[in-house]
A and B are shown apart, each in its own frame.
Chain A
């Protein structure tokens, strides 16, 4: 099973600040890494697929990068509505696995 770790676990950020969340895989997963946003009491929403491809309708301030075992989700100029937990997910092999999540709070 491929284990995904995320850092940080929690981040408190002021609006307009840049946020960087990292996801590390226990073995190489190529570019099969996706990012989701989950707000309280809502279902997850896809932000980025295959490392760097933005999903339809996602604001351009969200971007992804990386390959192999190290990946990054970047939120440029954070907005208040971005307060949420962010999860990475690998689909390189079954069982699919998710990272533990990074909670982003607005100061």
Chain B
């Protein structure tokens, strides 16, 4: 059974940093693209970042480029989102999502989400 479990959310001041983690199980982690998608309170879904199959390519939304960095540890089946220079508009529930084995594509499994609140 595929499971994704996010952690690391919380309250942070503007300009601060936070690292989100996603623990994956039930599939061969390195064989799939992995993504982060966020949802501001009461709003729709916004794609944040994707790590390609094999992990050679990382892609980011313009809204987070230069501030956020994704990475992964295949030995522990964990996927990370390092968020720096946080802004109020980054406040959202952040979901870790599993992609297809061909890269990109649809998100077939999602974690339960972790809430990030950027406020002074």
Contacts and interface: CB of A to CB of B under 8 A. Distances in A.
Interface in A1-53: 32, 34, 36, 38, 43-46, 49-50
A89 B59 contact: no
A89 B108 contact: no
B9 interface: no
Interface residues of A, number: 22
Contact of A50 (B62, B106, B109, B110): B106
Contacts of A89: 45, 106-107
Contacts, number: 56
B119 interface: no
Contact of A95 (B44, B62, B106, B112): B62
A46 B61 contact: no
B64 to A, nearest CB: 10
Interface stretch (A65-73, A75-83, A96-104): A96-104
Interface of B: 35, 37, 44-47, 50, 59, 61-62, 95, 104-113
Contact of A44 (B45, B61, B104, B105): B45
A87 B47 CA distance: 13
Interface of A: 32, 34, 36, 38, 43-46, 49-50, 55, 87, 89, 91, 94-101
Contacts of B47: 95-98
A63 to B, nearest CB: 16
A43 B44 contact: no
A97 B45 CA distance: 8
Contact of B110 (A32, A45, A96, A97): A45
A48 B46 CA distance: 19
Contact of A43 (B35, B50, B104, B111): B111
B108 A96 contact: no
A2 to B, nearest CB: 11
